[in-house]
Amino acid sequence: MIITGLGGDLLVSDLDGRIRSLVDASSYGQRVEPWPNRVVDGELARPELRTGVLHSPHGVAVAQDRSIVLTEWLIGGRQVRLRPR
């Protein structure tokens, strides 16, 4: 089972119940309102996103090729595909 954490976590639980991290937790720092977005010049705006770092993973699925496909919960959203090595 794959578990997303809105703080940037992506975890997997195996059949024995062991949980391990698939990616390092987000380095976006402390969450402040209006997280997961931000305010720019008094207006609600999409956050700055970094390649290779998850911001707010939400929906998740596994494709036939075993890649993990997820969406991020923020203005405009973002789709990410993680391919197995």
Q: Find the angle CA(38)-CA(4)-CA(67) to the nearest 5 degrees.
A: 110
* Cβ-based neighbours of 27, under 8 Å, separated by 6 or more: 8, 53
**Nearest-angstrom CA–CA distance, 75 and 61:** 21
- Say how many domains are in the chain: 1
pLDDT of residue 27: 63
Of 17-26, 39-48, 72-81, which range is least confident? 17-26
Distance separating the N- and C-terminal Cα atoms of the chain: 19
**Regarding predicted confidence, which is higher, 27 or 73?**
73
Query: pLDDT tens digit string along 23-57?
Result: 876 666 677 889 899 999 999 999 999 888 899 99
Structural domain span for residue 9? 2-82
Structure tokens of 75? 């203005």
Q: What confidence category does residue 85 fall into, taking pLDDT thresholds of 50, 70 and 90? A: confident
Q: Please tell me the predicted confidence (pLDDT) of residue 51.
A: 87
Q: Scan for tokens 């993973």, then name that residue.
A: 57
Average pLDDT, the chain: 89
